[in-house]
Chain A
Amino acid sequence: MVDVPYDAVTEVPPAEVAEVDLYHPRSWWTRYVFSQDAKVIAIQYSLTATAIGLVALVLSWLMRLQLGFPGTFSFIDANQYLQFITMHGMIMVIYLLTALFLGGFGNYLIPLMVGARDMVFPYVNMLSYWIYLLAVLVLASTFFVPGGPTGAGWTLYPPQAILAGTPGQDWGIVLMLASLILFIIGFTMGGLNYVVTVLQARTRGMTLMRMPLTVWGIFTATIMALLAFPALFVASVMMLFDRLLGTSFFMPALVEMGQQMKYGGGSPILFQHLFWFFGHPEVYIVALPAFGIVSDLISVHARKNIFGYRMMVWAIVAIGALSFIVWAHHMYVSGMHPKFGFFFATTTLIIAVPTAIKVYNWVLTLWRGDIHLTVPMLFALGFIITFVNGGLTGLFLGNVVVDVPLSDTMFVVAHFHMVMGVAPIMVVLGAIYHWYPKMTGRMLNDALGKFHFWVTFLGAYLIFFPMHYIGLLGVPRRYHDIGEAAFIPSSTHTLNAFISIMALIVGFAQMVFLFNLAWSYFKGRPSGGNPWRATTLEWQTPETPPGHGNWGKELPVVYRWAYDYSVPGAPQDFIPQNQPRATPVLQGAAP
C-alpha cells in the first residue's frame, strides 16, 4: 500500500451488488425514537450507557466515602457496600463499556467507516437497542425491589450469590441474571449486524486491509462477544434455575443455620469456568475497540501513518484468539490442578507479545510525528501510559506464584481498574472529543476539555497508584471496613482517605465533561465536515452530521488505505481514502 507511488490511481472493481432500499422514516417517532438508522441507534445506546454509567460512578463515590472515612457515613452499611461494588462492577464492565464501544461507537462508525449506507439489518439493529434498554431498566429496578440489588460481587460466584446472607438474595440476584440474559439477546442482534456489515457491506475499493483500525478493533471484539457471551448466558440460565427451581448445577451440599439445605452435588467451580470463559474475553471485548480507536486517534493527531498497519491488524486478531485460552488465570486460587496453572500462566504471558507489538507501534507512530496536543490526542497518550502500567501489573498477576499472595487484595483492584477501567475510559473520552464534531457539527470546548483531561488523568493515577501499595500490604478487597490489624500500618488509613478525595475530584471532572457535551451542542464552535483533517470516510460525508443514508446519491469509492498522512510530495498533509489522486485535479484548471 505505502509502496504504491502516491499519485497512481489503483483500479477499483465495479460494484458487485446493487444498492439495497433504505427504510425511510415517515414520522418523528420512526425518525428519532423507533429509528432504524444506525447513527440514531448509536446515540441512543451511548446516552443510555452514559446514564446507567453515572449511577455506577455515584456508587463508586459512595464506596470510596465508606473506605476513606469508615464509620462516618451511617447510611452505608456492610450490605449496601457489597451491593454498591456489585452494581458498580457489573454496570461499568457490561452495561457501560461493552454497550458504549460496540453499541455506541460500533453503530456510529462501522457503516460510516466502511462506506455503507446503514447496518445490513436496520430493523434487527433497532430491536437490539430496545432490548438493551429493557436490560438496563431491569438492572436499575433492582435498586427499588425489596432487599435491593444483589451484593454477590460482579463475578456472582455461587454458592454465596444465591444464599441467604448475601444482600439481594430474594429479588436482586434474579433480576440481575434476567437482565444479563436480556443484554446478551439484545447484544447478539446488534453484534450480528456489525459483523455482517464489515464482512459483506463494504463499499467499492474498501478491502479488509484498507479498513481503519477502529473498525478492525470493533469487528474483532464483536466476534469475540458473539462467542464469549454464550458462556455467560448459559451460566445465568443455570444459576437462575438454581435460585428459582432449586436445581443444583452450581450448588454443593450445604448446611445453613444448622439445617441441611436441599441443594447437593453441584459444582461452584463449573460456574467459575463458565463465567471466566466469558469474563476474560470480555476484558478484550472492551480493550480491542479501545486499541483500534486509539490507533486512529494517534495517527490523525500525529499526522503520520500508523506504524506497522498489518502487524496491528494481526495483533488484534491474535489477542482476540488467545484471549479464549487464558480464562483460568482468574481461578488460580480455586484449587485447580497446578499443571493447569502452568498452562494458563503461559498463555497469559504469551498475550503480552501481541499487546507489546501494539504498544511499540503506537509509540513508533508518535516517533517524529507532527504531534498536535489536541484533547483527543491527550487522551490517547494518557491511554498508552495507563495501559502500559496496568498491563505490567497484569504480568505480575499472570504468574501463579505472584498471584496467590496478591489474590483478592486491593492490588488486583488497582490492576484491573488501570488496565480495563481507566484505560478504555480514556479512549472513550478521547473518541468522544474526536467524533463529537461529526455527530453534532460542533467542536467541544477545548479549555474545558484540557481541564477534564488533566484532572482525569492525574486523578486516576493518584487514585490507583496508592491502591497498588495498599494491596501489596495485603489489604483485602470487598471489605467494607478494614479496621485495625497488625499488618496494616496507620498510613493506610490516610492513603485511603486521600484516594477517596481524589475519586470525588475525578468524579467532579466528569460533570464538567457532561456540561461541556451539553453546552457545546448549542454553543460550540461550528466544526465543518473534517475539523481534524482526517482521511477516513466518515469525515468525507456530504453533510455533517451525516444524513439518512450517509452518502447522498453516490456511495464513496475507496482508493487507498486509511493512513495517508504527510505523504511526501502531496499538496496536503492528508489524502482522504476516497480521493483517487494525491493531487486533486481542480475543476477548470489547465491539465
Chain B
Amino acid sequence: MAETALTTHGLSPARPDGWEGIAADWSSDQRAFKNVSWGKAMMWIFLLSDTFIFSCFLLSYMTARMSTTVPWPNPSEVFALEIAGHHIPLILIAIMTFVLISSSGTMAMAVNFGYRRDRVKTAVLMLVTAALGATFVGMQAFEWTKLIMEGVRPWENPWGAAQFGSSFFMITGFHGTHVTIGVIFLIIIARKVWRGDFDVGRRGFFTSRKGNYEVVEITGLYWHFVDLVWVFIFAFFYLW
C-alpha cells in the first residue's frame, strides 16, 4: 500500500486532460485510476456502498413520514431546549452540526500536515477531530436521553406518529455508530502517527504491510463522508 501511493515510477508524466485523459486511463493497463492507491480506491467504493445504505434509510423514513395518517411531531418543538429561560428551537442540533462540521475542518488540516510529514501536528489535529467527534456523540447521547425522558420510544411517542421515534433512533443511531467507529479509527491512526510508524515504515500488526501518511487522508475521506451524511439527516429529519 505504501508503495502504491507514493511511487509513480514509470508513469509517463504527460497524460491527456479531461475526457481524453479518462478514456486513456481506463483503456490503459495496471490501474484505472492513476495515482490512486489501493486503500483510497477501496475507501471510495466503500463510501459509495454506504451511501446506498443511508439513502435506503432516509428514503424509508420519508416514505413512512409521507404515508402516515397520524400527524408527524413538529421537529422544531421536539428538538427545542430551554436555555436561561429562552425557548430556542433546534439549538442542540445546531450546536451538534457546528461541532461536526468544525471537526471536518480540523480533519482537513490534519491531512494537510500529514502530507508535510509533520508528525506532531498531524497527530494533535487528528485527536482534536476525534475529540470533536466524541463531543458530537456525547451530545447525541444527551439528546436521546432527553427524548427518552419525555416518553419517546421506538414504538411510540407522546406527540404523534410512532414512526417518528422509530426513524429517529434508527437513523441517528446508525449515524452515531459511524461517528463512533470514526473516532476509534482516528485515535488508532493518530497513535500510529504519533509513534512515528509512517516515518520508519513500521509494519502493521495484522497486515504486515508498511503504512504511510496517506492513511490519514483515507481516514479523512471517511470522516468527511460521515459529516456529509449528517447534513442530509439534518436537512431531511430536523428541518423538514
Contact = CB atoms under 8 A, between A and B. Distances in A.
Interface of A: 12-21, 23-24, 120-123, 188, 191-193, 195-196, 199-210, 226-227, 229-231, 233-235, 237-238, 241, 245-249, 262, 264-267, 270, 274, 277, 558
B60 A20 contact: no
A203 B49 CA distance: 27
Contacts, number: 166
A247 B38 contact: no
Given A230-B52, A247-B155, A200 B33 contact: yes
A279 to B, nearest CB: 14
B210 interface: yes
Given A188-B49, A206-B29, A274-B60, A23 B207 contact: yes
A230 B53 contact: yes
Contacts of B226: none
Nearest to B49: A226
Given A13-B10, A188-B49, A233-B56, 19 more contacts: A13-B30, A14-B9, A16-B8, A17-B8, A18-B7, A123-B206, A196-B42, A201-B30, A201-B38, A202-B30, A204-B29, A207-B28, A207-B29, A209-B27, A245-B155, A248-B166, A249-B60, A264-B162, A274-B56
Given A206-B29, A241-B166, A18 B9 contact: yes
B41 A200 contact: yes
Interface string B26-45: 11111111101110011001
Interface string B127-157: 0000000000000000000000000001100
The 5 closest A-B pairs by CB, nearest first: A230-B52, A14-B10, A247-B166, A234-B56, A246-B155
Interface stretch (B62-70, B85-93, B114-122, B180-188): B62-70
Contacts of B163: 247-249, 265-266
B207 A123 contact: yes
B166 A203 contact: no
B50 to A, nearest CB: 8
B157 to A, nearest CB: 11
B170 A238 contact: yes
B42 to A, nearest CB: 5
Contacts of B208: 21, 23-24
B195 interface: no
B49 A227 contact: yes
B41 A196 contact: yes
16 contacts: A18-B7, A18-B9, A19-B3, A23-B209, A202-B30, A203-B30, A208-B32, A230-B53, A233-B53, A245-B166, A246-B155, A248-B155, A248-B163, A249-B64, A265-B70, A267-B63
B237 to A, nearest CB: 15
A227 B48 contact: yes
